[in-house]
Copies of this chain bind each other. A is one copy, B any other.
Amino acid sequence: MTSPAEMANAIRFLTMDAVEAAQSGHPGMPMGMADVATVLFTRFLKFDASRPDWADRDRFVLSAGHGSMLLYALGYLTGYPDLSDIAELRNFRQLGARTAGHPEHGHVAIAETTTGPLGQGIANAVGFALGERMLAARHGDLVDHHTYVIAGDGCLMEGISQEAISLAGHWRLSKLIVLWDDNHICIDGDTALSGSDDQLARFAASNWDVARVDGHDHEAIAQAIAAARASDRPSLIACRTTIGRGAPSKGGTEKVHGAPLGAEEIAAARRALAWPHAPFEIPAEILAAWRAAGRRGAEARAAWEAKLAAAPGRAAFEQALTNPLPEGWRDAVLAFKRKIAAEQPKWATRKASQQALEVLTEAIPALIGGSADLTHSNLTVTKATKSVTPEDFSGRYLHYGVREHGMAAIMNGLALHGGFIPYGGTFLIFANYLWPALRMSAMMQQRVLYVLTHDSIGLGEDGPTHQPIETLAALRATPGVLVFRPCDPVETIEAYEAALEAQGPSVLALSRQNLPTLRTIHSDDNLTRCGGYILAEADLEERKVTLIATGSEVSLALEAKDLLEAQGIGTAVVSLPCWELFERQTKEYRSAVLGEGTVRVAVEALGTFGWERWVGTEGAVIGMTGFGASGPAPALYQHFGITAQAVADAALARL
């Protein structure tokens, strides 16, 4: 009969062997948390390793992603199809292997989310647990699962963890259970070097249930998890562990955190734990015990499938999870565009966004909103999106508080969970608070919409701390994000349409200040989907100048065009709302739009970094070269020389 201790040791040796083979990796955490993971996966976690796509499975998040070998060992042992071959573990950290240095969503099914940057996982998990409650509010008992997290000291030190635990406690996400690897060791040495927080008191202050156990005592762990499952609040279980448990001389020290143990230490561990088996060799009996644990949930999964098959809400549930964009949603987009072209309102694009969201949230039930406490500035709430509260998860609007980073990571969790397309608002400048999570949206290609208003010095009096300069460049430099800066209501809803079609995240950079409607002739085509296009061709026969602008500066470019054409210079205006989509067009299309051989001047009321891509080294860029200032927006545009005249002058100087 295989003992739980032997099963845990299987994790330990797979970890030691894989890190040793790779000569790279982090053995300490998987070895320290092997007992906790064994208890969780063999006695509590609701899953069927053969069917990782079971919608109502419990979610397990390894927030301390450097301990990726824990996940891969569990995947192999329980028999996830994509990890059931030991060769995957032998290839740990090699190019092309599924078993990447940190767990990557999409590489292995057991990785519910990509983790590694500390604190992201625990915040994603809050999104998972929130998604569970919100989906259950819509689909009843088809949805009823837990979210478990293993987090390390680093996760709890990162500020994002506070944002996440505050919200989890506020929302009373009782099915969220965090197992903290309380090993007293960080990379620099003892955690006492850099902290003396009472973590249990801290979590309790945010309305969590808290407990402390010996992380190597299987029965104590099981009792704590059972108690946490019975709680009406989210739970933290501090699991007091020895990092690298099993390594006779390095265990319990920072030496075991992030480096191979070495052949000698591993041999000593084999002796100490009475594990005579060769590297990567798991005795058949132990493997069988693990594989049986991996199928523990098979019956429950089959029962759930039967329930789903018979459920009256089956179609709605499946649609929510597989294709949350309902048939006909584009009709709403077209109707909106027609109306705008006819009425030509003078709206800030944040206002245009609100009007677009009214239409879209009405048409797309999966679309859920929120803001980092700037609802009335971002204009992100709509008639269809009533607030989610701790008492009622049927709402569609989340008050994240002033927690941009937590908001973004929670949106990632919501998107990964399935059933929702989340959007969240803050000021564009505060993209710098949420950047690490947005990067994860991009890496995981999750459909998360960032509604970022007050998108230039045009926000005015709030001054340089609030005026984005480098922000758009940073976002454009980030792979896998669509960055839209629409110029009017038509481009705004077109940007939403393109964002909703996309596989990955999108940013909508929106103005605070009012702007004219420029797309006054209705077209069924989504021109924004091309990334850039000629908004106004030269009125004079020959185009000599091409002015390129985005967002609030497109109307300014049109004024500059008038100035130039009054002097007999044929001038076209290109609206370039999305660089990334423009780059996907053919070279011919791009050349035709940009006017190869014409003088090119770009204008954007943010930093100029990166614009040489479109105007070349010979062109001009009118924009900001330093931080902004506090003052009314029109005064700032004058002061910083972002004017139609300056654009025209720059063109003239180059003709």
Contact status B158-A94, CB under 8 Å: no
Residue on B nearest A608 in the bound complex, by CB: B477
Inter-chain contact B195/A205, CB cutoff 8 Å: no
| Contact flags A619-651 to B (C-beta < 8 A → 1, else 0) | 000001111011110011001000000000000
A373 to B195, CA, bound (A): 11
Q: Does A402 contact B (CB under 8 A)?
A: yes
Chain B residues with CB below 8 A from A283, complex form = none
A77-85, A196-204, A304-312, A488-496 - interface stretch: A196-204
A365 contacts partner chain B, Cβ-Cβ < 8 Å: no
Residues of chain B contacted by A205 (CB below 8 angstroms): 197-202, 204-205
Given A432-B439, A463-B104, the answer on whether A166 and B609 have CB atoms closer than 8 Å is no
Question: Which of A142-150, A185-193, A336-344, A345-353 is found at the contact surface with chain B?
Answer: A185-193
Chain B residues near A377 (CB, 8 Å)? 187
| Distance, CA A457 to CA B41, complexed state (A) | 34
Q: Which of B25, B100, B155, B399 contacts A629 (CB 8 A)?
A: B100
Contacts A480-B626, A632-B94 given; indicate if A373 touches B101 (C-beta within 8 A): no
**Is the CB of A114 closer than 8 A to any CB of chain B?**
yes
Q: Quick check: B479 and A607 within 8 Å, CB to CB?
A: yes
- Docked Cα-Cα span, A440 to B188, in Å, equals 27
**Smallest distance from the beta carbon of A643 to chain B beta carbons, Å?**
15
Are A161 and B162 within 8 A (Cβ)?
yes
A632, chain B: closest CB distance, angstroms: 7
Cβ–Cβ contact A469 & B479, under 8 A: yes
Q: CA of A65 to CA of B116 in the docked complex: distance in angstroms? A: 33
- Cα distance A159–B164 in the bound complex, in angstroms: 9
In the complex, how many angstroms separate the beta carbon of A592 from the nearest chain B beta carbon?
Answer: 15
Residues 75-101 of chain A, each 1 if its beta carbon lies under 8 Å from chain B, else 0: 000000000000000000111110011
**With A157-B166, A399-B193, A630-B101 given, is the CB distance from A636 to B373 under 8 Å?**
no
Q: What CA separation (Å) do A96 and B628 show in the bound complex?
A: 11
Within 8 A of B (CB), among A441-466: 442-443, 460-466
Which residues from chain B contact A586 at a C-beta distance below 8 Å? none
- Do A461 and B22 form a contact, CB below 8 Å, given A402-B154, A477-B474, A625-B479? yes
A118 is contacted by which of B402, B435, B478, B630 (Cβ under 8 Å)? B402
CB contacts (< 8 Å) of A470 on chain B: these are 439, 474, 477-479
Among A160, A200, A630, chain B packs the most CB atoms within 10 A around the CB of: A630
A277 within 8 Å of B by Cβ?
Answer: no
CA distance A631 to B163 in the complex (A): 33
Interface size, A (range): 35 or more
Stretch of A242-250, A544-552, A610-618 on the interface side: A610-618
Q: Taking the complex as formed, is A295 at the interface, i.e. its CB lies under 8 A from any CB of chain B? A: no
Q: Which residues of B contact A632 (CB under 8 A)?
A: 24, 94-95
- Which residues of B have CB within 8 Å of A387? 193
Q: A158: which B residues are within 8 A, CB to CB?
A: 159, 163, 402-403, 433
Q: A102-B466, A399-B194 are in contact. Are A159 and B157 (CB under 8 A)?
A: no
**A383-422: which have CB < 8 Å to B?**
387, 399-403, 405-406
Chain B min CB distance to A69 (Å): 12
A38 within 8 A of B: no
A610 CA / B155 CA spacing, docked (Å): 33
Q: By the criterion CB–CB under 8 Å, are A463 and B100 in contact?
A: yes
Complex CA gap A205/B202 in Å reads: 5
Given contacts A158-B159, A166-B157, A170-B194, contact A93 B461 (CB under 8 A): yes
In contact, B631 and A376 (Cβ under 8 angstroms):
no
Shortest Cβ gap from A254 to chain B (Å): 8
Contact B399 A188, beta carbon cutoff 8 Å = yes
Report if A206 contacts B (CB, 8 A): yes
Q: Which residues of B contact A102 (CB under 8 A)?
A: 462-463, 465-466, 630
B188 & A465 in contact (Cβ 8 Å cutoff) = no
* With A160-B159, A162-B161, A609-B477: A462-B116 Cβ-Cβ less than 8 Å: yes
- Asked if A374 is an interface residue, CB under 8 A from chain B, the answer is yes
Quick check: B376 and A188 within 8 Å, CB to CB? yes
Among B401, B476, B627, the residue within 8 A (CB) of A195 is B401
One of B118, B402, B466 near A186 (C-beta < 8 A): B402
Contact A65 B465 (CB under 8 A): yes
Given known pairs A187-B376, A443-B627, the reply for A101 and B462 (CB within 8 Å) is yes
Q: Is A465 in contact with B443, judged by CB distance below 8 angstroms?
A: yes
CB-defined contacts of A197 to chain B, threshold 8 Å:
166, 169-170, 205-207
The CA-CA distance from A443 to B191 in the complex, in Å, is: 33
Least CB distance, A514 to chain B, in whole angstroms = 15
Given contacts A101-B461, A160-B159, contact A204 B206 (CB under 8 A): no
A462: which B residues are within 8 A, CB to CB? 101-102, 116
Q: Which of B432, B461, B609 contacts A473 (CB under 8 A)?
A: B609
Contact yes or no, B436 A432, CB < 8 A: yes
Chain B residues with CB below 8 A from A607, complex form: 477, 479
| B610→A473 contact, CB < 8 A | yes
Whether the Cβ atoms of A159 and B479 lie closer than 8 Å is no
Q: In angstroms, how far is the closest chain B Cβ from the Cβ of A6?
A: 29
CB distance from A251 to the nearest CB of B (A): 18
Bound complex: CA of A496 vs CA of B461, how far in Å? 37
Nearest B residue to A192, CB-CB:
B170
Q: Beyond the given A116-B463, A479-B625, please list 5 additional residue pairs across the A-B interface where CB-CB is below 8 A.
A: A114-B465, A157-B166, A201-B205, A473-B610, A610-B612
Residue contacts A-B, CB under 8 angstroms, 5 given: A25-B461, A104-B463, A157-B403, A202-B202, A479-B624
